[in-house]
Each structure stands twice: as C-alpha cells, then as structure tokens.
Amino acid sequence: MGCRPPVIVPERGDEPAGQAVLALSASSRAALDLCVHCGFCLAVCPTYDHLGIEDDSPRGRLHLIRNLSEGNIQPTGKVLEHLDLCLDCRACESACPAGVRYGVVIEDARAQLEAVRPRPFWAGGLRAFFLRGVFPRPAILRALARGLRLSQRLGLDRAATKLGLVRGRMALLADTARVPRQFSSDLLPGLTPARGARRYKVALLQGCVNDVLFGPTNAASVRVLAANGCEVSIPAGQCCCGSLAFHFGGIEQARAQARRNIDVFLETGAEYIITNAAGCGSTMKQYDHLLAGDPAYAEKARLVSAKVRDITEFLASIDLAPPPLPVRVKATYQDACHLAHGQGVRAQPRKLLSMIPGLELVSLRDSDTCCGSAGVYNIVQPEMADALLRRKMENIAATGAQVVASANAGCMMQLRLGARLYGPPVEVLHVIDLLDRAYGEGNGHG
C-alpha cells in the first residue's frame, strides 16, 4: 500500500501537458483531493481482485481521471477500457477511510468522456434508442415488453436464439427474464388506502424494469406497506429514475428524468418516497447532487432526496406489524451494491427477514461483493460479469439455502441466470416477496 499507485501513465513533468479532456466538477475535484492512495479500496474492488491490475482498481482509476483532467494523458482505447470495466458498485466507498465519494468522480468522468468517444453507428444508435427513447417513456417500454411477452408465449424468442438472431448474454438474459402476465401498472391503482388507521402517507416509485418484469413484487410492496398503516400513491406521471443514464454517461438525460420525477412526487404530498430497487433509490437520493447547479430545481431536488427510503429501510424503521404466517425455508441474503454501499442499508433487510416466522436466515460469504449485474454491465462486460457471477453462485451453494433474497431487480435477474447456468437451483426473491408471504397475501411469485 504505497503512497502513490503504480499506474503506468505520464506524470506532470515527464512530458508537456496536452489538452485536458475532463473539466471535473467541484465535488469531483474535492473527492479526488481527498484520496491519499492508501490502497484500502484494493481489497474490496471486484475487478482488481479478479485481474490484479492497478489501473482496474479505484485508486488506479482515480489516478487516470486526475491525469485526464490535467492533460497528462488522452482518452485512448486502453484508458477508456479501464474506466469502462468499473462496476460502479461503490464497495470502495464503504472501505475508504478518507470518505472519498468515488461514484461522483467516475460518473462525472464517464459523462464527459461519452461526448468525445467514438462509437460504431449501430452501437451508438441502440444506446440512444434505449436510454433516450425507451426508459424515459413508460408507454414505449410497456409496448416493447408486451411484444417480448407475446414472443415468449409463442416460443419466438427461443427460435431466434436457435437461428442465431439473438446471441450470447442477451439470449440468456432474455430467456431468464420472463415477462409476467400483468405489469404493476395493470395491477395497482393510483391510490391504495392504509389497512386500519393511516399512519403514513407514502408514494411508490414503480420503476421501469420493475414495472414490466417485477410487477408482482411491486404489488407485494403495496400490500405490505398498506398492512403497516401506509396510504400508498403511485403517481401516473413518473418515469425511470435516471439510474441507467446516470451510470453510463448520459448525465443530461438523467437530469431530465430527475426533474420530471421531482415534479410528480412533490405533487403527491407524500411524507416518504419508497423504492424497492437499490439502484433507483441510490440515484434518487443523489437528485440533490445531480441538480445542484439548477437554480429552478436545486431546492426541490434536496426535498425529494431527503424523502427517499428503500422499502426495507423504511419498514425496519417503523413499528412493524408482526407477520403471522410461517415461511419455512432456509434463506440467505445477497446485498445489492447500491443498497449496501450506495445507501448504507445493510442491517435493515436482515432485520425484516429475521422477523418472518419459520425462516432460517444463514449468512453468505462476501454477500456485499457485486454479483456482476450492475445495470447493463452484464451485457456490455460479459466476461467480467460472468466471473463474478460464478464466484457468487459458489458462495450461495456453500450456504445450503433454498432461497436467495435480494432487494434489487438487476441482482435478482443476474442471480436467476446464475442459478440456471451454474446452480444451485435456488429460488431468487425480493425481501418483500418473502415478507408478503408471511402476511398471507402473496402468491409466491417474484
């Protein structure tokens, strides 16, 4: 753990400085200045652990970003490869004794580098289509999901895979992500009253992926909240939280989505804004950072960020109605990165699981190490994602658990893929799905 990382890039003074390609924000520069290169982040970084390459560690990437901002290096393909390989899992933030907000820096750098990097026409077009044309527009996303659901029912998806029209990781994920009969937007009313006396007024982010792939989990979330005295509103004008755009360089897109959600959720008058997807909650809690420079939205963003709670975080903080029914399973819990590291929520999901009668909760080795999902990382970086998934499934097998609980849609999809490819054949559920069973409401589908 030397005081300077052995990254092989020119230092100032070794050659004349070129034009800087990054104009880092004040918060990013402050985070960089906090880093003392101690190396505590190395032990928890999944990519460094797997590759053993300094440039693929948080310390190494911060050093690369500093040199890009000072004009000492240019964004070559090799430099971009090191930055792209980052999962943005934030494990380094949990380990950092100096409190470096690494996520702020990597997301700032990615947003600026996205504007100067060349992309093949089709890759750039697909990226723009999904980030700008699909996820911010719920109606379009639902239409595409209905088409996928029909193709799955007719077996066209498997036929496309056999014909080689859909290949690799995309084919596996498409086959694993079965679209349910109903979306949460089909299942849930705009307002669900509290069961008994109203104790809280909350609003639920139904999400984009959660809406079309995890509608039953959204429904379970509403039932559990209502059973605990919450009046639950689901505002119709909400859109994707912006996390996918935010984490992959589309910062202006993320800001536009944040503004829309801020207006919609403030209109509800809710005391709390509830999310059941770790990535969504982490991003909404950063709306104040995203819009700090927007005079029209900075204060509103601060108000919304202060209201956001993960559903496990919220339920663990209130006087929870005891679940009456036993759920007799041996279960383990996988920490979602953006819940454990991004939001600091670790004990709360475990507290809820421990309250379920009959459930035996066993610990999972390296439970807070990334499973390789990380948004769309498992699609764009399949080799690294697969290496992380294999290790995760080995650790799950060692627990002997029948059920793996998590608190994020991406993790659940990745773990279901792992159960299919590598075993063990565990059931993967959201924490709230299990709690819903214990309240006697759920149908058992996650």
Consecutive H or E run containing 360: strand 360-362
Burial label, 200 (beta-carbon count in 10 A; 0-12, 13-18, 19+): middle
Q: Where are the domains of the chain?
A: 26-114, 322-438
- Mean pLDDT across the chain, nearest whole number? 87
Higher pLDDT, 111 or 259: 259
* The domain over range 26-114 is classified in CATH as 1.10.1060.10: yes
Q: Report yes or no: 377 and 402 within 8 Å, Cβ to Cβ.
A: no
Residue 97 burial (C-beta neighbours within 10 Å; 0-12, 13-18, 19+): exposed
Q: Spell out where 194-249 has E strands.
A: 200-204, 230-233
Q: Tokens 């030397």 label which residue?
A: 2
Which pLDDT band holds residue 446 (cuts at 50, 70, 90)? very low
Q: Is the pLDDT of residue 416 over 80?
A: yes
Asked if the model's pLDDT at residue 136 lies above 50, the reply is: yes
pLDDT one-digit tens code per residue, 17-56: 457 778 888 888 999 999 999 999 999 999 999 999 999 9
> pLDDT tens, 319-357?
999 999 999 999 999 999 999 999 999 999 999 999 999
Strand 191-192 relative to strand 230-233, pairing: antiparallel
392: which 2 tokens?
């995760």
Examine the pLDDT at 115 and tell me if it is beyond 80. no
3-state secondary structure of 338: helix
| Strand partners for 275 | 310
Instruction: Judge whether 170 and 379 are in contact, CB under 8 Å.
Output: yes
**CATH architecture type of domain 322-438:** 3-Layer(aba) Sandwich (3.40)
pLDDT of residue 117: 74
